[in-house]
Amino acid sequence: MQHVQNAALVVEPMPLIAAAAADSLVQLGFGHVELAAGVDAALDLIGRVRFDFALLSVVHREGSIARVAAMLDQAAVPYVLVSDLADGRDRPLELLGARYVTKPYCLSDLARILGRDVSPCTMR
């Protein structure tokens, strides 16, 4: 398994959201960010790369993000779920206790979760 220093994984089916998330993670100090559009691609990446953090969208067509979360738990990789709903009720039952943010989220939301200091975002 390859370990890249400060590596993050973004599992997000929407390409523009994935790219924005990756950019935010780079701004927060992650030197390497891998993108996976679905559960199967994420599982493959986790089997090959040792990640330091993951951001997981909860909505996928090809399976439950809980499979990805379980594999990350086994590898002791911290992750945050990304919910489409403000109350997070779209999260799988087995992940109701996991940390999550809701779309739309911004750099300062991720920074707060990661314990990093950035200016708060503003909505215009």
Question: To the nearest 10°, the Cα dihedral for 17, 100, 25, 8?
Answer: -100
What is the mean predicted confidence (pLDDT) over 61-67? 85
In this prediction, residue 122 carries a pLDDT of 53
Q: Which regions of the chain does DSSP assign to beta strands (E)?
A: 2-3, 7-11, 32-36, 49-50, 53-57, 79-83, 100-102
Count up the domains in the chain and report the number.
1
Q: pLDDT band at 124, cuts 50/70/90? A: very low
CATH number of residue 107's parent domain? 3.40.50.2300
Residue 121 lies in a domain: no
C-alpha to C-alpha distance for 93 and 104, rounded to whole angstroms: 22
pLDDT digits (tens, 9 = 90+) for 37-62: 999 999 999 999 999 999 999 977 77
pLDDT digits (tens, 9 = 90+) for 75-87: 999 999 998 877 7
The three-state DSSP-derived secondary structure of 94-108 is: HHCCCCEEECCCCHH
In this structure, the chain runs to a length of 124
Q: What is the pTM of this model?
A: 0.88
Range of the domain at 109: 2-114
